[in-house]
Amino acid sequence: MLKKVLISIVLAVILIPSAVLAWLYLRKPAVAPPANVKVAMTPERIARGKYLFENVCDCGGCHSQRDFTRFGGPVIAGRVGAGDVLSALLEDLPGTVVAPNITTDPATGIGLWTDGEKIRAIREGIDKHGRILFPMMPYPSYRKMSDDDVQSLVAYLNTLPAVNNLLVRTVLNFPVGLMITGVPQPAGKVAPPPRNDRRAYGEYMVTMGGCGDCHTPLKRGQPEQALAFAGGRVFASSSGTVVSANITPDTETGIGKWSEEFFLKKFYDYKDYAEHGPPAVSGPKSFTLMPWLGLSQLAPEDLGAIYTYLKTLKPIHNAVETHPGTN
């Protein structure tokens, strides 16, 4: 009897992981065909797309080559959307992670993609060739991007000058490449955010800006939801190490004592840098990955809505040293 039990245990230990691995290998992502849509290239739509690209979503922060010797890592002239190897900058990524060339170059960019294929990649994480995008590209959040906004973003992408920049493809370590198969989901139709509801519109802006992605610590590679927005995510890079701040309304360790005027000023203090060029990084404490340059150009009503939403979050006491070892 004992021998049979031991055999059963051994078989279970062998077969269950094997079954899980087989399921991961065979599982297919939820894929919808790209929409048959041609984006209207109106001045208004292109301007909105530029605003989303540069100031809200910070697309250029990953998909451009940047100069991290200067505050905020401004994009190198002529390299907007040309793509970059992110794992060469950020440590602890699970393999070779590449933000691809998203310029209109037909050979190395997305110049041959349809507008529907671009929309699907942005919101659903499936590229032109049916490949799954690594969700460091925040398509789980962009799934909530409105139809109007995603079309505006594509309209602006269609205006980017072609840059021939051939990059290697993303290659993820085992088993991460298998585990992301379940992440893509069809977005369907998404209505525009309710601008007359300041809190709801602020939540939309926070989601599009990926604030929670950076300001939530990771535990075993996954966001620690009990500390959502409480800061503490470590970004170790070849240029320095920074830790995201607590942006919950905790009065001691977060933004609980901040007035809306003070909150807006924190961002608008960097307007001059954005408009005239940021200074050189003067030491570890002046290194940042926070997209201050782009966010300093947000409209007051958008920043105000973000503030309104953040103030409704659960206060979490979590003291963070944003530049460890520099005090």
Residue-level pLDDT, tens digit, the chain, 327 residues? 555 545 555 444 554 555 444 544 445 788 899 999 999 999 999 999 999 999 999 999 999 999 999 999 999 999 999 999 999 999 989 999 999 999 999 999 999 999 999 999 999 999 999 999 999 999 999 999 999 999 999 999 999 999 999 999 999 999 998 889 999 999 999 999 999 999 999 999 999 999 999 999 998 888 999 999 999 999 999 888 999 999 999 999 999 999 999 999 999 999 999 999 999 998 888 999 999 999 999 999 999 999 999 999 999 999 999 998 776
* Three-state DSSP state, 66: strand
* Three-state DSSP state, 131: coil
* Three-state DSSP state, 28: coil
pLDDT at residue 7, rounded to an integer = 53
* Three-state DSSP state, 126: strand
Task: Say how far apart CA 7 and CA 306 lie, in whole Å.
Answer: 58
Task: Say how far apart CA 217 and CA 233 lie, in whole Å.
Answer: 4
Contact 100, 160 (CB under 8 A): no
Contact 46, 156 (CB under 8 A): yes
Residue 170 backbone zone (phi > 0: left; psi -120 to 50: alpha; other: beta):
beta
pLDDT at residue 25, rounded to an integer = 46
The CA-CA-CA angle for residues 283, 289, 293, to 5°, reads: 95
- First-residue to last-residue Cα distance in the chain: 65
CA-nearest of 1, 102, 116 to 57 is 102
Task: Say how far apart CA 173 and CA 5 lie, in whole Å.
Answer: 36
pLDDT at residue 325, rounded to an integer = 77
Contact 198, 132 (CB under 8 A): no
- Written as one string, the DSSP assignment of 179-219 is HGGG--------PPP-TTSHHHHHHHHHHHHTHHHHSS-EE
Q: Mark 309-325 as b/e (b = at least 16 C-beta within 10 Å).
A: bbbebebbebebebbee
Contact 76, 96 (CB under 8 A): no
Task: Say how far apart CA 270 and CA 293 lie, in whole Å.
Answer: 6
